[in-house]
Amino acid sequence: MKIRLMENFRAIFYAPYYAAHRLGFYANEGVDVELVSSDAPGDAIAHLTNGTIDLTWGGPMRVMTAHDRDDQSPLVCFGEVVSRDPFFLIGNFKRFKLSDLAHLRFAAVSEVPTPWMCLQHDLREADINPAMIAKTSDRTMPDNYASLREGRLDVMQAFEPFASRAEMDRAGEILYAASSRGPTVYTAFIATRSKVAVHRDAFVAMTHALAKMEQWLYAHSGKELAEVVASFFSHVQQELLVRSLQRYLDAGLWARDPAMSKQGFERLGSSFLSGGSLKRPPVFEHCVDARLA
């Protein structure tokens, strides 16, 4: 069985997917996986719908929004891997509260929508009106990090390796780890129903591979994981990669079971609903093919 699997975009919190490929977990389940690069976040969805790939990984929010626009959307997700939010608020404040964002120079993530959607929901739950936050949201994370280092920004939202790099550079520290809110399904496999019908056995086998990968993760260290995936992150200094991966391991960022968490799914859906990106609550059974787990 051969499957064309397209990455979402290259990010450290996706390390388990690269490790599963590198350690041969898919091959051990009898699936020949061709890993295809993606040009931009979300780019793989178009390739799914035109049939040039069989599978991708990404945020279930893409399935939620597709079903919100069209009840007959063919997209489904399965196989949870990133089960908590991998983003942080980084800055130089010893006593920081989320309400402080209202009077600080703050830059939110511009590259993808989910980090701000989840953070604005955290703000609402803390009785803070997100509309009161004067955020910058048109610059990249590298640009924001340069601004933070130069003192032109007080707080930035980013994933690893920016948090660990800020600590190492003494440019800032973690003020808030979004993973601390608890289950929020952040990344899973995404396919079309027609591809599921054709490749069901292969997708089930790949879910078995994910289960074994997740067991492997929590039996090994960030250093061991870094050694496995280093070739995918040649632009990241090894010490920085190890530190980033260990932080994610310690936070329990990755799922221990590929069965999709309904609690985590609903939390993600609530964030997009309160942020105005969904018109109605997403239905778990419509968006998730639980039989594949």
- Tell me what pLDDT residue 144 has: 97
Average pLDDT estimate for 28-44: 88
- Tell me what pLDDT residue 94 has: 83
Q: What is the pLDDT of residues 138-171, one digit of tens each?
A: 999 999 999 999 999 999 999 999 999 999 999 9
Average pLDDT estimate for 184-208: 97
Q: Which CATH number fits domain 88-181: 3.40.47.10, 2.60.120.460, 3.40.640.10, 3.40.190.10?
A: 3.40.190.10
Kindly state which CATH superfamily the domain 2-84+183-292 is placed in: Periplasmic binding protein-like II (3.40.190.10)
Say whether pLDDT at 21 is over 80.
yes
Say whether pLDDT at 64 is over 90.
yes
Q: How high does pLDDT run on average in the chain?
A: 96
Say whether pLDDT at 39 is over 80.
no
Task: Note the pTM of the prediction, 2 decimals.
Answer: 0.95
First to last CA, the chain: 18
- Tell me what pLDDT residue 36 has: 93
Confidence band of 293 (pLDDT split at 50, 70, 90): confident
Confidence band of 38 (pLDDT split at 50, 70, 90): confident
Check if 2-84+183-292 and 88-181 are the same fold. Answer: yes
- Tell me what pLDDT residue 43 has: 82
CA distances from 18 to 12, 38, 117, 159, 210 (A): 10, 14, 27, 18, 11
- Domain positions in the chain: 2-84+183-292, 88-181
Average pLDDT estimate for 113-137: 96
| Rounded CA separation 196/54 (Å) | 9
Say whether pLDDT at 182 is over 90.
yes
Cβ-Cβ contacts under 8 Å for 172 (sequence gap 6 or more): 90, 91, 92, 148, 156, 166
Say whether pLDDT at 41 is over 80.
no
Say whether pLDDT at 42 is over 80.
no
- Tell me what pLDDT residue 128 has: 96
The fraction of the chain above a pLDDT of 70, given in percent, is 100
Q: What is the pLDDT of residues 244-260, one digit of tens each?
A: 999 999 999 999 999 99
Say whether pLDDT at 40 is over 80.
no
Q: What is the pLDDT of residues 73-95, one digit of tens each?
A: 999 999 999 999 999 999 998 88
| Rounded CA separation 166/98 (Å) | 19
Q: Which pair of tokens denotes residue 75?
A: 């997209």
**Nearest one of 287, 290, 292 to 69, comparing CA atoms:** 287
- Tell me what pLDDT residue 132 has: 92
Say whether pLDDT at 270 is over 80.
yes
Average pLDDT estimate for 212-231: 98
Are 110 and 137 spatial neighbours (Cβ–Cβ below 8 Å)? yes
Give kind and range of the element (H or E) at residue 67: helix 60-69
